[in-house]
Structure formats: structure tokens, C-alpha cells
């Protein structure tokens, strides 16, 4: 009888051990599934956020392009020509009428500073004052741009 009771205890222990193994396996499986779901949910949230930021950037670029276009249209309507300089005071843009009015290809001046292109037909003081205003990033007015003078001289209207 002792042998039967021992066998029954072994079967009961084996049954309990099996139950515990199944329980731990199920807990592990649920944990893995939870982690996988968390990773996919996080990825979906990040993707949605990036897509929203990308859309916002596209809208900002479009708004900037529209604003720039309006600015250029405005500039073209009020001036014979105009130019832009970058942060290093190098010519970075000439309006469309620059070539027509001056007879100079914009490519000949793009990337150069005012000092590198030179401005003849002004006094030393005017030239120094102009360069100082540029260096200080100050606006300037009534500075007769020699490229126009050169064109006037060529046409004989000066």
C-alpha cells in the first residue's frame, strides 16, 4: 500500500508541476504578446507623428514658396532690378531684369562680394561708406550703381 500511495503522490506532484509549467508558459506567452503589441503600437504612433510633421513641413515649404513668389513679384513691379546678398555679403540673386538693364550676365557676379566686383566712378569716400554700410548690414540709399552708369555711358545718355 505504501507503494500505491507513493505513486499517487508522484502523480499528484507531476500534475501540479505540469500545471505550474503551463501557468508560467502562459504568463511568458502573454508577456511576449504584450511586448509585441507595445512595439507595434509605439511604431504606429511614431509613424503617425512623423507623417504629421512631414505634412506640416510640406505646408510650411509651400507657404514659404508662395511668400517668396509674392515678394519677387512685388520687387519686380517696383524696381528696375534688385539683387540679394547672402550672410557673407556675396551676391546670391539678381532679378530677371538685371541683364536687360545692365547688359551684364548675373553669373559673372553671383558668389562675389561687392568689393570683388568693384564699383568705379564713385569717390573713395562714397565707396568706403558703402562698404562700411554693407559690413554693418545696414540699409543704404541713393547709391548710384555703376553698372547702370556704365550702360548709360555706352548708350550716350549720360
Q: How confident is the model at residue 158, as a pLDDT?
A: 38
* DSSP annotation of 68: H
Q: Please list the rounded mean pLDDT of every run of 10 residues in the chain (158 residues).
A: 55 76 88 94 95 95 92 74 89 88 89 83 85 89 64 45
> From CA 85, how far away is CA 81, in angstroms rounded?
14
Q: How confident is the model at residue 136, as a pLDDT?
A: 93
> From CA 126, how far away is CA 116, in angstroms rounded?
16
Predicted structure pTM score = 0.47
> From CA 129, how far away is CA 79, in angstroms rounded?
23
Number of Cβ within 10 Å of residue 15's Cβ equals 10
Q: How confident is the model at residue 142, as a pLDDT?
A: 79
- The pairs formed by 129-137 with CB atoms below 8 angstroms and a separation of 24 or more are 134/85, 134/89, 135/89
Q: Exposed, middle or buried, 131 (CB in 10 Å: 0-12/13-18/19+)?
A: middle
Amino acid at each position: 500500500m505504501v507503494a500505491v500511495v507513493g505513486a499517487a503522490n508522484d502523480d499528484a506532484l507531476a500534475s501540479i508541476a505540469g500545471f505550474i509549467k503551463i501557468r508560467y508558459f502562459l504568463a511568458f506567452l502573454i508577456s511576449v504578446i504584450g511586448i509585441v503589441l507595445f512595439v507595434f503600437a509605439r511604431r504606429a504612433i511614431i509613424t503617425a507623428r512623423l507623417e504629421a510633421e512631414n505634412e506640416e513641413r510640406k505646408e510650411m515649404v509651400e507657404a514659404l514658396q508662395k511668400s517668396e513668389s509674392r515678394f519677387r513679384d512685388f520687387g519686380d513691379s517696383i524696381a528696375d532690378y534688385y539683387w540679394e546678398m547672402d550672410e557673407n555679403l556675396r551676391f546670391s540673386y539678381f532679378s530677371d531684369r538685371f541683364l536687360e538693364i545692365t547688359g551684364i550676365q548675373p553669373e559673372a557676379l553671383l558668389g562675389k562680394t561687392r568689393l570683388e566686383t568693384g564699383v568705379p566712378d564713385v569717390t573713395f569716400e562714397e565707396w568706403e561708406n558703402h562698404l562700411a554700410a554693407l559690413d554693418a548690414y545696414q540699409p543704404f540709399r541713393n547709391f548710384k550703381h555703376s553698372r547702370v552708369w556704365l550702360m548709360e555711358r555706352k548708350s550716350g545718355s549720360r
